[in-house]
């Protein structure tokens, strides 16, 4: 299968088979005056390898120039996971990498040990100028909650990413989302509202969503908070619906976005399927 067809100014067409892409890069790993490709061509070739991390890593080891060119694809989608802390440490130690991430996922798993990774990486997020999407899943044990919430609040106020997904975050003070004025798409999956924080009845002056995705088991107060943000909502998706949810609040949510909603999706709990 031929996958690359490139025509540069004053040059002929270049067509390269995918299976030979990595080979081409490695062959040119010691560029000579007669074999050196322009950096923009090499960059274009690397763009086809963006989903092939192993190939990109192999290319990046072949030559310092390729290492720099491959970085923007290697670090476009970053996962911070306590089982692989080296990625987090690499970013913390190399601030130039902060320009590359377009999506960042911070994930953890249920345990009771202190997990410093989410807390340490989140202050760096406002410096990720090209970040589009942030996903945070069960970030830390309960005894770190206050520290996490404080860091998340600061992150939301100062960042410019447009997609936010929060999964399995419990006792979250939802008022911190009011300040996330750049977010166009919000996904809430599981989790609960901080019971000590009353739901404000007035619409949020800042957050004005275009897409809201509610997934899994969410308590009714999550829906009540969501009503404050949906005045301009065009797409509402409800995934993994559960029978034992308090559905009485659902008609109110529809009414709150009735002036703008053009797409509605209802999916039942797929684990039942």
Q: How far is the CB of 247 from other proteins (least distance, A)?
A: 5
Q: Which parts of 111-184 are beta strand (E)?
A: 133-137, 163-167
- Total of residues contacting other proteins (CB under 8 A): 25
- Choose the binding region for other proteins from 173-181, 185-193, 212-220, 264-272 (rule: CB under 8 A): 264-272
Residue 263 interacting with other proteins (CB under 8 A): yes
Residue 169 interacting with other proteins (CB under 8 A): no
Question: Residue 19 or 262: which CB sits closer to other proteins?
Answer: 262
Q: What is the largest CA-CA distance in the chain?
A: 72
Question: Residue 53 or 265: which CB sits closer to other proteins?
Answer: 265
What does the DSSP 8-state code read for residue 144?
G
Question: Residue 148 or 229: which CB sits closer to other proteins?
Answer: 229
Identify the burial level of 271 via C-beta atoms within 10 angstroms of its C-beta, where 0-12 means exposed, 13-18 middle and 19 or more buried: exposed
Which are the contacts of 255, defined by CB distance < 8 A and separation ≥ 6?
none
Annotate each residue in 186-225 with x if it binds other proteins (CB under 8 A) or - if it does not, as one string: ----------------------------------------
Question: Residue 201 or 248: which CB sits closer to other proteins?
Answer: 248
Annotate each residue in 218-257 with x if it binds other proteins (CB under 8 A) or - if it does not, as one string: -----------------------xxx---xx-xx--xx--
Whole-number Å distance between alpha carbons of 69 and 74 = 9
Nearest to 191 by CA among 161, 233, 221, 224: 221
Nearest to 122 by CA among 89, 78, 79, 152: 152
Question: Residue 102 or 239: which CB sits closer to other proteins?
Answer: 239
CB 39 within 8 A of CB 69: yes
Residue 35 interacting with other proteins (CB under 8 A): no
Question: Residue 87 or 261: which CB sits closer to other proteins?
Answer: 261
Whole-number Å distance between alpha carbons of 191 and 174 = 11
Question: Residue 113 or 248: which CB sits closer to other proteins?
Answer: 248
For residue 39, give both structure tokens.
Answer: 């950096």
Whole-number Å distance between alpha carbons of 19 and 139 = 39
CB 177 within 8 A of CB 207: yes
Q: How far is the CB of 228 from other proteins (least distance, A)?
A: 18
Residue 258 interacting with other proteins (CB under 8 A): yes
Residues that bind other proteins (CB under 8 A): 241-243, 247-248, 250-251, 254-255, 258-273
């Amino acid at each position: 299968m031929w996958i690359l067809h490139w025509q540069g100014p004053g040059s002929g067409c270049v067509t390269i088979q995918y299976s030979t892409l990595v080979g081409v890069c490695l062959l040119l790993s010691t560029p000579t005056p007669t074999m050196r490709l322009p950096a923009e061509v090499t960059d274009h070739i690397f763009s086809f390898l963006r989903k092939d991390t192993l190939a990109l890593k192999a290319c990046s080891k072949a030559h310092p120039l390729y290492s720099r060119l491959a970085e923007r694809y290697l670090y476009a989608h970053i996962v911070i996971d306590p089982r692989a802390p080296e990625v987090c440490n690499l970013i913390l130690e190399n601030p130039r990498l902060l320009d590359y991430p377009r999506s960042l996922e911070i994930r953890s798993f249920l345990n009771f040990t202190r997990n410093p990774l989410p807390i340490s990486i989140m202050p760096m997020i406002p410096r990720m100028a090209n970040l589009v999407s942030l996903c945070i899943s069960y970030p830390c044990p309960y005894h770190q909650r206050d520290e996490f919430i404080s860091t998340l609040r600061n992150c939301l106020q100062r960042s410019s990413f447009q997609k936010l997904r929060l999964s399995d975050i419990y006792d979250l003070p939802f008022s911190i989302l009011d300040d996330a004025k750049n977010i166009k798409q919000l996904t809430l999956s599981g989790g609960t509202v901080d019971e000590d924080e009353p739901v404000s009845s007035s619409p949020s002056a800042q957050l004005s969503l275009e897409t809201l995705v509610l997934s899994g088991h969410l308590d009714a107060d999550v829906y009540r908070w969501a009503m404050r943000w949906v005045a301009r909502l065009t797409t509402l998706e409800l995934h993994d619906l559960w029978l034992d949810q308090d559905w009485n609040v659902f008609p109110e949510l529809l009414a709150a976005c009735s002036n703008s909603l053009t797409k509605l999706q209802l999916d039942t709990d797929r684990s039942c399927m």
